[in-house]
Amino acid sequence: MHFRRLKCLTSLSLACLLGTATARAVRADDLNDWLQVLQSMDQSQDPALARDAWKKVVDSGVDSLPAVLAAFDPVGPKAANWLRSAVDAIAEDCLADQRKLPQQRLEQFITDTQRSPLARRLAYEWLFEVDPTVKARMVPGMLHDPSLELRRDAVAMQIEAAEAFAEAQKNPEAIDGFLKALGGARDEDQVKLIAKRLREMGQQVDLPNHFGFLQQWYLIGPFDNTALKGFATEFPPEKEIDLDKRYEGKLGPVNWTKFEGNDDFGMIDLNKPLGQLKEVTGYAWTVFNSPVEQDVELRLGCKNGWKMWLNGELLFARDEYHRGMKIDQYKMKAHLKPGENQILMKLCQDKMTESWTVEWQFQLRVCDAAGTAILPAPSP
């Protein structure tokens, strides 16, 4: 279980700091006031006030557990740590006193998908602690749950079921099981495993479509990045997008080139069309045709210096090089208008010559907050 180590560390450290809590009856208004103090900890500079509120919340006892879990909606990371440690301390005190957790209320809380994913997962961990049958009863129905940790458990169970069919040489049932697992999978390791098993069974798997990676781009470059000056320099693509124009680049005239990625994880490698170069800047441009006005997340993986514009507005930038790369490395909230939305990427390469600095590439996908792909509308 993912939270067990965190539970022990956070709750034990605070218990040592604040002492053992003793349950007592409290007024709902009082409990709400104490929870509001903890909820404000991302803005507050008064840890003494938080420690006092934390102790009073824990003192309120196990009957307050659902209210403490509900207080996660929504809070920042510091507040979540205080609330999580309060939940752990309440539950640990309850079990240490050989009393029962409110299992029915915890189960109701877990099934409420409008609640905080973190709080729901925490409730599930404690419910599983006292009733391991909850896994078989609840998790299979969480294949598309907004809590990614609960969803991951459901995907794992679905993979196990599909593997059992495969071992019994029931390939149609196994394929169906793996496809169901893929529909819920969002974590890279699970997706890779499922895709591998499906392909071994002769099935085609479109991973770029599954993740929502953008594969169709126009690329131009190289422009100069000597002494890393290119990051701040406004080259022509930042002033206009004209796919028919030619510009003076670092090594001579440059023009836009159409490029289609074919990597399972959406990698757009500028080295392929532009050459394996150093101290250069390149641009990638595409259009995302949104069927409706909508809020999305643009998730980027890149180890070069980069900037991103959406419809001409700078969305984010990162002026650093070769510090690692992974899927969903950067998550940016964005608002798409209905119809065409222009995305412009600027990619800067430095002068380092080590083998691990060769990459001049990125991967970009469009998805919702849960990582579910948001696909463009078909071109007219």
Q: Which CATH number does the domain housing residue 333 bear?
A: 2.60.120
Kindly state whether residue 161 falls inside one of the protein's structural domains. Answer: yes
Both 215 and 336 in a single domain? yes
Kindly state whether residue 143 falls inside one of the protein's structural domains. Answer: no
Kindly state whether residue 141 falls inside one of the protein's structural domains. Answer: no
Sign of CA dihedral 49, 54, 59, 63: positive
pTM for the structure as a whole: 0.84
Both 271 and 353 in a single domain? yes
Both 158 and 252 in a single domain? no
pLDDT value, residue 16:
41
SS3 state at 100: coil
- Residue 288 confidence (pLDDT) above 90: yes
pLDDT value, residue 46:
83
What CA–CA distance (Å, rounded) separates 28 from 304? Answer: 53
Over residues 294-315, the mean pLDDT reads 98
Both 249 and 273 in a single domain? yes
What CA–CA distance (Å, rounded) separates 307 from 319? Answer: 8
Kindly state whether residue 380 falls inside one of the protein's structural domains. Answer: no
Burial label for 19, CB within 10 Å (0-12, 13-18, 19+), is exposed
What CA–CA distance (Å, rounded) separates 262 from 162? Answer: 28
**Token representation of residue 236:** 């022509």
Both 217 and 263 in a single domain? yes
Kindly state whether residue 298 falls inside one of the protein's structural domains. Answer: yes
Kindly state whether residue 83 falls inside one of the protein's structural domains. Answer: yes
Owning domain of residue 195:
148-205
Edge-to-edge strand list for the sheet holding 305-310: 257-260, 216-224, 280-290, 339-349, 305-310, 313-318
pLDDT value, residue 8:
41
pLDDT value, residue 346:
99
Kindly state whether residue 375 falls inside one of the protein's structural domains. Answer: no
Model confidence pLDDT, tens digit, residues 93-141: 999 999 999 999 999 999 999 999 999 999 999 999 999 999 999 999 9
**Bridging pattern class, strands 330-336 and 294-302:** antiparallel
The terminus-to-terminus CA distance of the chain in angstroms comes to 48
Model confidence pLDDT, tens digit, residues 177-222: 999 999 999 999 999 999 999 999 999 999 999 999 999 999 999 9
pLDDT value, residue 174:
98
Both 266 and 239 in a single domain? yes
SS3 state at 143: coil
Mean pLDDT, rounded, of the chain = 92
pLDDT interval class at 32 (50, 70, 90): very high
Kindly state whether residue 94 falls inside one of the protein's structural domains. Answer: yes
pLDDT value, residue 323:
86
pLDDT value, residue 26:
63
Last residue of a domain, one of 76, 98, 132: 132
What CA–CA distance (Å, rounded) separates 81 from 209? Answer: 36
Last residue of a domain, one of 132, 164, 187: 132
pLDDT interval class at 239 (50, 70, 90): very high
Model confidence pLDDT, tens digit, residues 17-27: 444 344 445 67
Last residue of a domain, one of 92, 108, 132: 132
What's the domain count of the chain? Answer: 3
pLDDT interval class at 378 (50, 70, 90): confident
Concatenated DSSP letters of 147-180:
SHHHHHHHHHHHHHHHHHHHHTT-HHHHHHHHHH
